[in-house]
Amino acid sequence: MVVQLDQQLLDILACPSEDHAPLVVGTPGDPDADFLTCTSCHRAFPVRDGIPVLLLDEAVELSAAGTPAGTPGPSGTSGPAPAVDPTPRSQPRPGSGTPGEGSSAG
């Protein structure tokens, strides 16, 4: 489905990254995709129920074909798997374990 946004609204919307570049409808690989794509950083922001979700955490990295990674392109083929979330997660250190994990009662 093609994103239907008022041109005045589209003119004032900008990428939430620090460069605040203009956004264009669709993606380079699929101009009818339900995304707004940054003209500078090339992140694609979803449009859900006609509402642009301009949150960096919701942005989608585009595949080499210009479609959101892991989604079908215009030819129906799927792009590469989604990128791994770079946010560090706290992991228990080896040996610290949780109760009952690797410890012996005795």
Domains of the chain: 7-58 (2.20.25)
Predicted pLDDT of residue 64: 72
Predicted pLDDT of residue 92: 54
Q: Is the pLDDT of residue 34 over 50?
A: yes
Predicted pLDDT of residue 70: 62
* Tokens describing residue 60: 């989608």
Residues 35-49 have a mean pLDDT of 93
Predicted pLDDT of residue 97: 55
Q: Is the pLDDT of residue 86 over 70?
A: no
For residue 104, count CB atoms less than 10 angstroms from its CB and return exposed for 0-12, middle for 13-18, buried for 19 or more: exposed
